């Protein structure tokens, strides 16, 4: 019941946000997000993700408008579109600065993720893969951003309600995109040695190397948004 009540509250807030209408520059946000989450693509367009993140950072309204565009995509009935949108959300949390981060860490956005899991809302038809990714992302945020109390509270509430049965194992190969598709403007180009080390770790077949790569990138992304 608690999850349902929270989700219901978020729905009302989200509706108000949408009714206000996006500002003019938001057209570029929608353009890049549509490309980044195009379900007809067999592989996700990483350059579109980067362009979307850059637009979020340059548009004064980007950090407040982008989460609602993402929420709409995450709640898509098309599994691939929803999964692609969740990847974009992860990247934005790492790349789009404190303002975007703080918007996503509010209950009114977290409620939109809760809706995907709640059987009273979208959870009755959302696929197991989409719900699994939402759970993975929420859990990973409790690990990487322990200072965000609302994220922790939302996750713990879902566990208490039995919607989340157990903590997932974080798939190190899905937390971050492969390094090769990123253009030369990647933040790692400023330090060639770190870039080479990261590439070697990500190509390794040893789990401990992959975990080390995730830790290195997570620390840089949290401290240095592009």
Q: What is the pLDDT of residues 4-27, one digit of tens each?
A: 444 433 333 333 344 344 445 578
pLDDT in tens, 133-160: 999 999 999 988 999 999 999 999 999 9
CB 140 within 8 A of CB 124: no
Other CB atoms within 10 Å distance of the CB of residue 65:
22
Residues 6+ apart with CB under 8 A from 119: 163
The Cα 101–Cα 106 span in angstroms is 9
Residue 177 has pLDDT above 60, yes or no: no
Nearest 5°: phi and psi at 44? -75, 145
Alpha-carbon distance of 202 to 205, in angstroms, equals: 8
The token pair that represents 189 in the structure block: 């180009």
Backbone angles phi, psi at 67, to 5 degrees: -55, -35
pTM value is: 0.68
């Amino acid at each position: 019941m608690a999850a349902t009540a929270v989700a219901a509250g978020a729905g009302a807030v989200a509706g108000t946000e949408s009714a206000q209408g996006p500002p003019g520059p938001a057209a570029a946000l929608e353009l890049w997000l549509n490309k980044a989450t195009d379900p007809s693509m067999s592989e996700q367009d990483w350059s579109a993700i980067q362009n979307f993140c850059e637009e979020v950072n340059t548009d004064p309204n980007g950090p407040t408008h982008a989460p609602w565009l993402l929420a709409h995509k995450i709640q898509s009935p098309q599994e691939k579109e929803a999964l692609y949108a969740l990847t974009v959300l992860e990247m934005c949390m790492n790349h789009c600065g404190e303002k975007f981060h703080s918007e996503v860490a509010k209950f009114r956005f977290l409620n939109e993720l809760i809706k995907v899991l709640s059987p009273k809302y979208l959870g009755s038809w959302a696929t197991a893969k989409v719900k699994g990714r939402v759970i993975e992302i929420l859990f990973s945020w409790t690990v990487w951003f322990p200072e965000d109390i609302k994220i922790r509270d939302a996750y713990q509430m879902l566990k208490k309600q039995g919607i989340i049965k157990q903590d997932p194992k974080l798939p190190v190969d899905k937390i971050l995109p492969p390094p090769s598709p990123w253009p030369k403007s990647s933040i790692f180009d400023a330090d060639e040695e770190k870039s080479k080390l990261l590439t070697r770790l990500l190509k390794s077949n040893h789990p401990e190397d992959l975990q080390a790569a995730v830790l290195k990138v997570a620390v840089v992304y949290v401290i240095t948004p592009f």
